[in-house]
Amino acid sequence: MKITILDGYGLNPGDLSWDSLASLGDLTVYDRTSPAEVVERAQGSEILLTNKTVLNAEILRSLPALKYIGVLATGYNVVDIVTAAELGITVTNIPSYSTMSVAQMVFAHLLNVTNSVEHYAGENRAGRWSRNPDFCYWDTPLIELAGKNFGIVGLGHIGMAVARIALALGMKVLAYTSKEPEHLPDGVKKAGLDTLFRESDVVSLHCPLTPATRNLVDARRLSMMKDDAILINTGRGPLVDESAVAEALQAGRLRAFCADVLSTEPPTSDNPLLSAPRAYITPHIAWATKEARTRLLDIAVANIRAFLSSTSANTVTP
């Protein structure tokens, strides 16, 4: 069984072991694969693993030996699953491996805004506290979260984990969700989208990217938000209109925008959010704790084992 990983570096830059995968067949791992290299590198492979390397219809039709594609992520839009199904190729993904890591990043961003830890640590490394005439100083707003409204758009696994943390911090949680109110945890109140944006002090996006949710946060919706509200996006970059968010920050109509995802990754240098004031951008690393990546690899191996035993695990279909 020939197994090829097209872009293994993102999952394993060297701190994990491929041994569990290697035990299943003849394994070849490429750190990165350009579009022009995909067919040559994948040729003859029965099992192909990809994270962000695109496998379109043309490529799939060029790989007659291919029986299985494992997407090393939750989103599987990099694979033409309609063509894969036509060709009898099984496609799997990795759900729910990074729930707590992503929820943790939401609050890392939020606490960075409310408490400015990095700012004060830097000031003190430069000697400011040592020179200060008083026992303490502050030159940024210091914000207590307890009692404030935390709006969550999308209450899946990650959204629910975020809700639990927000409740533990004493916040009031509003959720835009398809779940019925009686099925929500205590302390979580169902709200319409516009109500959520108007009333929340913090809004965190956790909905899937669909035609209906693309640019969900646009100029109109931003105008509904409180001027001191904080917007957080650890879901998908295109959920927000990036130019509209940058304009809101420039105009002082938003306290902060925090994101771990952008519409194009890596972003172009002229992305307006990279230079906007109070925009805090991390490079799509919420999923990348060692613990989450270990779970991802373990699930990937389990998916392949299930396929080899003619059972099904995390199979995606058109």
Active-site amino acid positions: 236, 265, 284
d(CA 194, CA 180): 18
Handedness of CA 23, 26, 32, 38 (dihedral sign): negative
Tokens 């835009």 found at: 176
Q: Confirm if 222 and 244 have CB atoms less than 8 A apart.
A: yes
> What amino acid occupies position 143?
I
The span from the CA of 253 to the CA of 222, in Å, is 8
Collapsed DSSP state (helix, strand, coil) of residue 182: helix
Does residue 266 have a cis peptide bond before it, meaning omega lies within 30 degrees of 0? yes
Which two tokens mark 241? 């209109």
